[in-house]
Amino acid sequence: MAPKIAVIGSGPAGITAALELKDRGFEDVTIFGSFEEAQLKTKQVDGIVFDVAACLLHLGYRNTVIPLTRRFGLEVNYIKAPADIVTSRLEKIKKRPGEIIDVYLTILYYLFFFFGWLFLHKTPFRKRYSSSMETFLVQRRLEGLSKSFAMGPGGIAQGYGFLDEVTAYHAFRWFRPRLFLTPLVSRFKFGVATIKQGYEVLFKNILSELNHVESKIKLVRPSFEKVEVSTQEGEILLFDEVIIACPLDQINFPHAYLIDENTIEESYLFSYLFTSPTIPPFEDRAYLSAYIECKMKNKALVIRTGGQTKTGDYLYWAVGYKSSEISKQDLKSQIERQLSKECNLIIKKLHYFDVFRYNLRFSSQAVRDGVVDKFHNLQGYKHIWYSGGLLSHWDISSIYEHNRWLVNKMRYRLGNKNLFSYLKYKFKTIVSWLRLI
């Protein structure tokens, strides 16, 4: 009989987990949670579609999100990165091959990330990564690299948080060799892309093909060979396997005691979408490096433009971190002052402003205490599995990759566990990783 599976959470983590289960032949899958609460928010402003909580696709998405857009009939807008911004580092080298020093520096930079990643995942030295990324660099006399980390892969440009707040563990987690191998085989080599109709439309389309129940889940607990799932409405349901794909502090589950205020850290990010008659002083986006370097909160750190609207105005999106003490109203006034006085952008109309609880991550304490490893070892224990940004990396591509791995592991567990099926599982895992390259 087909196993009855519940996926808890209907954000990108839950939706890609349920889709992967369906694709791998599991027929009885129910996904719980409210899509409206997921971080994805697509806004339409005078003919422009803009995602205020998951706007960009980059190289790594080639094997995850981009095929999904094709499958669900959506289009991708490829935005060629202008030569003078950090993301086009490789492009710059291509244009100025004479500057060989740049090539060496880039190779060294990626090698540093690669070995960082290798040590982080494959050796017992993980606990050394519990310090902040800033301390990690200073201790290794690499503080000169901090600017490049803040602005480049793994840093603020990826929306992590400042380097003194983010553990080295988390920063290195961003690196996945695939991210850098993909350009070798991909048409989509440089720059970034967006989903033309928006992320929200994509995930709503996928969700409409799944068995979705709006209820929130209060409790998940093992019950003999099954897993008991209690909804907030008081209904108790039994499943064979359960994937928890909602933030782990939002639900009661057998190992919830591992999660407390010392285990997780988070950032509060604001998203401010506005139109302006002012012509953008940059092509696609500008990193306000002076603010980034001074670790300014309550200030826009990156400003992007979505282009010119039908009415002739420009659509802008400003994003930055919120400090805990400032009220939303004061924050709004401060952003507006910054945009108009310091950045010379006249705000014509505000289209969207919100603050997100963003980038839930394990704290240094949790890395030191081995909580992260505990969760990895707990995968599938008593038929309960864990997904979402906390367990992978926060971006949607990595969440999807994690779910592919998880479902593969689940299939092996549910199958016949002899040597042959173990080898088959290992082979399939390797093939699925190769497919991602």
Ligand X SMILES: Cc1cc2nc3c(=O)[nH]c(=O)nc-3n(C[C@H](O)[C@H](O)[C@H](O)COP(=O)(O)OP(=O)(O)OC[C@H]3O[C@@H](n4cnc5c(N)ncnc54)[C@H](O)[C@@H]3O)c2cc1C
Distance CA 245, CA 389 (A): 9
Two tokens, residue 35? 């899509």
Shortest distance, CB of residue 360 to ligand X, whole angstroms? Answer: 8
- Least distance in angstroms from the C-beta of 87 to ligand X: 12
- Taking the least distance from each CB to ligand X, the nearer of 248 and 367 is 248
User: In the complex with ligand X, which residue's Cβ is closer, 136 or 383?
Assistant: 383
CA 327 to chain centre: 26
Strand 226-231 with 217-223, pairing: antiparallel
Rounded least distance, CB 10 to ligand X, Å: 4
- Pick 133 or 399: Cβ nearer ligand X: 399
3 state SS of 77: strand
State in angstroms the smallest separation of the CB of 9 from ligand X.
Answer: 3
Question: Among residues 64 and 131, whose Cβ is nearest to ligand X?
Answer: 64
Q: Which is nearer to ligand X, 251 or 301 (CB)?
A: 251
The alpha carbon torsion through 124, 125, 131, 135 (nearest 10 deg) reads -170
Smallest separation, CB 359 to ligand X (Å): 7
- Closest contact distance (angstroms) between CB of 352 and ligand X is 11
Find the DSSP H helices in 123-238.
133-139, 146-151, 168-173, 177-185, 199-208
Which CB atom, from 59 or from 137, has the smaller least distance to ligand X? 59
**Within the chain, what is the greatest distance between any pair of CA atoms?**
68
Tokens read off for 416: 């016949």
Note the helical H segments in 50-132: 65-71, 89-95, 100-122
Cβ proximity to ligand X: between 188 and 356 the closer is 356
Task: Name which of 17 and 137 has its Cβ closer to ligand X.
Answer: 17
Question: Do 368 and 32 touch, CB atoms closer than 8 A?
Answer: no
Could you list the residues that contact ligand X (CB under 6 A)? 8-14, 32-35, 37-40, 53-56, 159, 216-217, 245-247, 250-251, 269, 271, 319, 356, 358, 388-389, 394-397, 399
Element (H, E) at 139: helix 133-139
Instruction: List the alpha helices (DSSP H) in 283-418.
Output: 289-293, 328-337, 364-368, 371-378, 396-414
φ, ψ (nearest 5 deg) of residue 230: -110, 125
CB of 62 to ligand X, least distance (A): 13
Q: Are 269 and 320 in contact (CB under 8 A)?
A: yes
Element (H, E) at 183: helix 177-185
Minimum CB separation of residue 204 from ligand X in Å reads 12
At its nearest, how many Å lie between ligand X and the CB of residue 155?
A: 14
CA distance 367 to 40: 28
Cβ distance 140 to 134 under 8 Å?
no
Q: Beta 29-32 vs 5-8: how paired, if at all?
A: parallel
CA distance 384 to 242: 5
Do 367 and 167 meet the contact criterion of CB atoms below 8 Å apart?
A: yes
Report the residue number, 12 or 153, with the smaller CB distance to ligand X: 12
The CB-nearest residue to ligand X is 11
Find, among 313, 316, 295, the residue nearest to 305 by Cα: 316
Q: In whole angstroms, how far apart are CA 333 and each of 91, 125, 171, 268, 304?
A: 38, 46, 32, 17, 19
Quote the least distance from Cβ 33 to ligand X, whole Å.
Answer: 3
- CB of 377: closest distance to ligand X in angstroms? 21
Closest CB to ligand X among residues 162, 412? 162
Q: Given the complex with ligand X, which of 217 and 259 has the nearer CB atom?
A: 217
